[in-house]
Amino acid sequence: MDRRSFVGTLAAMAPIAALGRRLPAADSLDRIGLQLYTMRAAMATSVERTLHQVAQIGYKEVEFAGYFGRPARAIRQLLDRNGLKSPAAHVSLDVLRTGWHRTLSEAEAMGQKWLVVPSLAESDRNSMDALKRTAEVMNRAGLDARTYKIRVGYHNHDIEFQEVEGKRILDVLLDETDPEYVDFEMDLYWITRAGGDPFDYFRRYPERFPLLHVKDSSGPPDHRMTEVGKGTIDFAAIFRAARQGGFKHYFVEHDNPADPMASIGTSFRYLDGLKF
């Protein structure tokens, strides 16, 4: 090729190269977490073996739903041994009312940054006054937790998309809790089952959702819960809203899988290969 042809070829390629530079690189999850409620039967049998197997699959983070009679420091040693971290745990609203500082101290020993209320009793959500009292409990607890550099969170199911006095329960909790102290963990399966729109919440309540429960739905009418990637939820589109939603941690969950270990392996492999 002579010089003139070479220069011409470069000129022809320049717009393509420039286009390539303008296209954003596909993103992916740098760490994938697991809500250990999925593995509750295995955890009840052997915490040590279960955490080891979870780490062997490739999970880097776990969210606890109870410690199965083990002290927090012993659990922390198991996490360190397996290269795992626990950014969050689920606790009941009653824990925020009584024994809160003991729970905060345990969470601090675990290295956790969020303590998440997973659901509410009917009496804590059946009226506007009840919801406001619940929000105030979370606000006060969140203020106390700041000393430990921990935040309070709330996790939705589908019931939070029902209305109380003309307003969705989830909206009341978002409006009445202080963003300085209280975050939310969006469960992508339950909002889908309830007919809610996650993008609407990310737009109206930006950066309030640092935690996600990543679980899939087979779609209407039965919305059978299934392994991540085996259903109808567009996770790539949701994950692209990370900046607006404020996502920091992604926890796989399946409430009642036929084979829990196989289930979490399938979900991990899908998310590990997902580009968005």
Statement: residue 157 has pLDDT above 60: yes
Tens digit of each residue's pLDDT (9 = 90 or more) over 106-141: 999 999 999 999 999 999 999 999 999 999 999 999
Give the Cα separation of 1 and 10 in Å (integer).
12
Tens digit of each residue's pLDDT (9 = 90 or more) over 182-209: 999 999 999 999 999 999 999 999 999 9
Give the Cα separation of 79 and 53 in Å (integer).
12
Report in angstroms the alpha-carbon separations of 77 from 51, 62, 109.
Answer: 11, 14, 10
Q: In the chain, pLDDT over 90 holds for what percent of residues?
A: 91
Contacts within 8 Å (CB) and 24+ apart, 100-108:
100/141, 100/144, 101/144, 104/144, 104/145, 104/147, 104/148, 104/150, 105/148, 106/72, 107/72, 107/148, 107/150, 108/148, 108/149, 108/150
pTM score over 0.85:
yes
- The pLDDT of residue 25: 53
Segments making up each domain of the chain, as ranges: 32-273
Quick one: fold of 32-273? TIM Barrel (3.20.20)
Statement: residue 18 has pLDDT above 60: no
pLDDT averaged over the chain?
93
Statement: residue 49 has pLDDT above 60: yes
- The pLDDT of residue 56: 98
- The pLDDT of residue 2: 47
Statement: residue 20 has pLDDT above 50: no
Q: In the chain, pLDDT over 70 holds for what percent of residues?
A: 91
